[in-house]
Structure 1
């Protein structure tokens, strides 16, 4: 799924959710109203094995970071997932969005939180914060 975008827009909030897999990391993005730019993000998964350290030169060149082992959970890597395996679930007001993989939530951007949540993470970092099931249930169920 490298270099693939999957997009879904909420009809009432006019926000869009985007899944981008660039071959080295995959991110869930939430756009501002109108769908232009990125307002918030959440690390979705790693299509490659996590690295020992961040490649700061690549990041400074504008590339998204590759997940490091220090923050990677046992669910971090999804090798060659198929596009049809992903779904977006919106909060009722369209201000928050979750990404599902084969029906299971893996990442979410939630209004009121500075960082996104991901099952791929074991702790908070520059990649976001570890999954919080209680937040998911409160916002999306």
Structure 2
């Protein structure tokens, strides 16, 4: 099985995310074209079918791993703030 390499320190806000939360939820946009992931009620990231890469709170700059979380895009896609 192929997996993506982990993001390097140059791109992430913290290298060790810690343990996997017990409460993980996926939230779909009303049009079904985007999905977000929430850990313990906090939106950590999302992907949009119209964008090549996703958006994550763990990223500090745009690069080959995705882009930093964009609250305005999130609100426009999901109809509410994160």
Q: Residue in 1 aligned with 2:39?
A: 101
| Structure 2: segments with no counterpart, 5+ residues | none
SS at match of 1:137: helix
- Alpha-carbon distance in structure 2 between the residues aligned to 1:63 and 1:113: 20
Q: Is the 8 A contact 1:121 1:131 kept in 2?
A: yes
| Structure 1: segments with no counterpart, 5+ residues | 1-60
- Alpha-carbon distance in structure 1 between the residues aligned to 2:48 and 2:61: 17
The structure that has the greater radius of gyration is: 1
Aligned residues: 79
1:1-141 mapped onto 2 (5 Å cutoff): 62-74=2-14, 77-82=16-21, 84-140=22-78, 141=80
Q: Residue in 2 aligned with 1:39?
A: none
Cα-Cα RMSD: 1.8
**What TM-score results when the alignment is normalised by the length of structure 1?**
0.51
Give how far 1:129 is off: 0.7
- Alpha-carbon distance in structure 2 between the residues aligned to 1:63 and 1:81: 18
- Alpha-carbon distance in structure 2 between the residues aligned to 1:102 and 1:124: 25
Runs of 4+, deviation exceeding 4 Å: none
